[in-house]
Chain A
């Protein structure tokens, strides 16, 4: 069995069939099926998200200590960084921990992209390929072919009005800002600031290029992330927080 076959057996085909079955259960709405699938993926990845939220909360609680260190070692950046890392280590948190749930979702994005292209079949080859990947469930076969219309979107095409790009970029920025711990030195701060902007910009740009079905997944996933983050940590997290380095400047 080739790596490609294993991929489709474990991830590609299950995502495709679940998506189509959901679409049938939701009155043939492929858009709603994507939203429900997003919720399912977020539920499955909840243990990981919970760990990340915990660490985010711990880091938020550590802010007074960090500011103390800032005052104490403000002039010695190397020492400040060492002390900060020591503090993080003692608390058992990783400042870049927020990236892990995103990385874990990466295979799902690929599978979802493939599922959308296959399920919405923009060419006869796509449709024929779909025939080879469907399970023999009645619910799946009765749903084919799917309608690509959802709200103003053609889910197989990028959103021509850029609305989804703005939503994806905006929600991603908010979610990252809520979870990203402030930087400890100017060099790290500029990297961190760039990361905060780069990812939303990149995803906003990708939304203009990829089928809007995939962008819908990103948007809904970000919104769920913001809501869970808000309720779990009891607020907007670092969204309103200034970097300790900034405050000393």
Chain B
């Protein structure tokens, strides 16, 4: 979301700009050759950056795209970068990009992280200095100061120099792989694991500060990255529950169970968002809930327009975007919904496909 425009990547490989006030399509750009987009677009000034499953990073200029000019337009600072293919390994970009003042950081399925100049797309690091961190990287790097933290599916957290890409002294090893991207809060990294625990790891430490749940593991993986606010970690789990946990102790404060239309727990794939003093969480079955972050009391947003089988009649897996009292939700059928949280109302779906 930037300057009243919502930018969305679609599963059929297009970037669509939606005007939030008119809820109409401003422009859309289809990436060729056809590919899938798993990353969330990030915006800096007039440039929209997006990664593709075909291993490309594109910098799209909003002015050039609204005029539908051929891509890339150098005079509009547009560029395209191809991720190297090594040893026939996939170069797909699945993880969200990280951005600093000057650089973009890209985790690739080839196991390496790249730093690109935001203006030109040139690589900032010498390729020979870039280590292979894992068989594939699908989790996003997170930057703090001059250090980049990367979690891996084989259970490591690595610290890299943001200047050179070289590995720094500290790393953390866990028995199980990490399923979610790391989130940093007050020098502690929070992330979910394939062993059904959420981990809190102090940067520089060699043992987890805590693991949640404290006794037996949760019902499934913590796939979505948690969010942290005022010392409380809010973590959605594929077992259908949203957990509120003390960031300091790992103690459970409350839990909220989301349901599918048949009343069974439905996985939470998208990270929750905070909007004003409310939490909003969506589950894979298409139900959206507004939750009081202090008590964990929640209310499902109803949608009588669609017969109220669920809030949205399609799967929700993409991250939610909160802006000025509205939450933007893209479903897996390539439609965008705007949910007014105060009114508990869901907009008419905005089609993100080309022909509608």
A residues near B, CB below 8 A?
Answer: 122-124, 127-128, 131-132, 136, 138, 141-142, 144-145, 147-149, 154, 157, 160
Contact = CB atoms under 8 A, between A and B. Distances in A.
Contacts of A122: 90
B149 interface: no
B64 interface: no
Given A142-B176, A160-B88, 11 more contacts: A123-B36, A124-B38, A128-B267, A131-B238, A132-B220, A138-B195, A141-B176, A141-B195, A141-B196, A141-B217, A148-B135
Contact of A131 (B38, B94, B195, B221): B221
Interface string B193-234: 011100000000000000000000101110100000000000
A147 B135 contact: yes
B177 interface: yes
A142 B193 CA distance: 9
Nearest to B219: A136
Contacts of A132: 220, 238, 267
A141 B317 contact: no
A144 B269 contact: no
Contact of B269 (A128, A147, A160): A128
A147 B153 CA distance: 10
Contacts of B220: 131-132
Q: Which 6 A-B pairs have the closest CB atoms?
A: A144-B194, A145-B153, A131-B238, A141-B195, A142-B176, A131-B221
Given A128-B223, A128-B317, A141 B88 contact: no
A124 B138 CA distance: 8
Contacts of B3: none
Nearest to B239: A131
A20 to B, nearest CB: 11
Contacts of B269: 128
Contacts of A144: 176-177, 194
A123 B196 CA distance: 20
Interface majority SS on B: helix, strand, loop or mixed? loop
A231 to B, nearest CB: 39
Interface of B: 36, 38, 53, 88-90, 94, 135, 138, 153-154, 175-177, 194-196, 217, 219-221, 223, 238, 267, 269, 317
Contacts of A148: 135
Contacts of B177: 144-145
5 contacts: A131-B220, A131-B267, A136-B196, A141-B176, A160-B88
A43 B154 CA distance: 33
A20 B38 CA distance: 26
A144 B195 CA distance: 8
A92 B177 CA distance: 56
Contacts of A149: 135
B223 A131 contact: yes
B194 A145 contact: yes
A189 B141 CA distance: 64
Given A122-B90, A128-B269, A131-B267, A142 B221 contact: no
Contacts of A131: 220-221, 223, 238, 267
A142 to B, nearest CB: 5
Contacts of B154: 145
A154 B88 contact: yes
Contacts of B135: 147-149
A128 B315 CA distance: 13
A147 B177 CA distance: 12
A131 B175 CA distance: 18
B239 to A, nearest CB: 10
Nearest to A28: B154
A122 B89 CA distance: 11
Contacts of A141: 176, 194-196, 217
A141 B53 CA distance: 26
Contacts of A127: 138
B133 to A, nearest CB: 14
Nearest to B194: A144
A124 B179 CA distance: 11
A142 B238 contact: no
Contacts of B238: 128, 131-132
Nearest to A157: B88
A147 B28 CA distance: 38
Contacts of A138: 195
A31 to B, nearest CB: 14
Nearest to B109: A122
A160 B53 CA distance: 21
Nearest to B94: A124
A144 to B, nearest CB: 4
A132 B194 CA distance: 12
Contacts of A145: 153-154, 177, 194
Nearest to B152: A145
Which of B176, B194, B196, B221 has the most C-beta atoms of chain A within 10 angstroms of its own C-beta? B194
Contacts of A160: 88
Contacts of B176: 141-142, 144
Nearest to B177: A145
A47 to B, nearest CB: 38
A146 to B, nearest CB: 9
A85 B217 CA distance: 63
A124 B96 CA distance: 13
Contacts of B267: 128, 131-132
B180 to A, nearest CB: 12
Contacts of B194: 141-142, 144-145
